[in-house]
C-alpha cells in the first residue's frame, strides 16, 4: 500500500471514529500499521523521522485517543512494555518469544468473541479474552541449538 493510500485510509478511519484528522494522528496510524507490535518509544522515533519535532507526550496522547476510539489495540505482555497494533476489533491472540521478545498474531482457535469461555464467570458478562502464548521463536531456537552445538564442540 502506498503512503498516499495509507493516508487516505487513515483519514477515513479517523473520520468514521468521529475524530479530528491531524497529521500526527495520520502518521501514528500509518506507523502502527506498518510496524505492528511497536512500543510507544519506537513509534515516537518513527513519527519524528517522518514529521520532525514531535513530543513524546504528544505521541502518547495520540496513542491513547486512537486506543480509546478502537482504531489501535494496546497489548501488554507480562514483563514487557506496552505495544500497539492496528489489528483492533477482531478476536485474536499473540505468541511472544521469551528470548528476543518478537510478537506474532495468532487467530482465535474457536472463532466468535470471546473465543474462550471461563468455567465460572462470577457474574461477569465476558466480551473479550486476551491470550498470550509464550515460547521461543524459530530464529532463537536455531540460535540456541547452534550455541549448544558450539559448546559441545569446545568440551572435547
pLDDT along the chain (156 residues), means of 10: 60 94 96 96 97 95 96 91 90 88 83 66 80 91 73 60
Q: Give the dihedral sign, CA 111/9/68/79.
A: positive
Q: What is the CATH number of the domain that holds 95?
A: 3.30.1490.190
The whole domain housing 11 covers: 3-75
pLDDT at 154: 62
Same domain, 68 and 101: no
pLDDT at 128: 75
Strands (E), 33-149: 38-39, 73-75, 83-85, 92-97, 103-107, 132-135
Same domain, 60 and 108: no
Residues with Cβ < 8 Å from 141, sequence gap 6 or more? none
pTM for the model stands at 0.78
**Count of domains observed in the chain:** 2
For 29, other C-beta atoms within 10 Å of its C-beta total 22
Residue 95, strand partner residues: 104, 133
Amino acid at each position: 500500500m502506498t503512503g498516499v493510500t495509507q493516508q487516505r485510509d487513515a483519514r477515513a478511519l479517523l473520520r468514521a471514529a468521529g475524530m479530528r484528522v491531524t497529521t500526527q494522528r495520520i502518521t501514528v496510524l500509518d506507523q502502527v500499521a506498518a510496524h505492528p507490535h511497536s512500543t510507544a518509544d519506537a513509534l515516537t522515533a518513527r513519527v519524528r523521522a517522518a514529521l520532525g519535532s514531535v513530543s513524546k507526550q504528544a505521541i502518547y496522547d495520540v496513542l491513547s485517543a486512537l486506543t480509546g476510539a478502537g482504531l489501535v489495540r494496546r497489548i501488554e505482555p507480562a514483563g514487557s512494555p506496552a505495544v500497539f497494533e492496528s489489528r483492533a476489533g477482531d478476536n485474536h491472540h499473540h505468541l511472544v518469544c521469551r528470548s528476543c521478545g518478537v510478537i506474532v498474531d495468532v487467530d482465535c482457535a474457536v472463532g466468535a468473541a470471546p473465543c474462550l469461555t471461563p468455567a465460572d464467570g462470577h457474574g461477569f458478562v465476558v466480551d473479550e479474552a486476551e491470550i498470550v502464548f509464550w515460547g521461543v521463536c524459530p530464529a532463537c531456537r536455531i540460535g540456541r541449538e547452534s550455541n549448544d552445538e558450539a559448546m559441545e564442540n569446545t568440551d572435547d
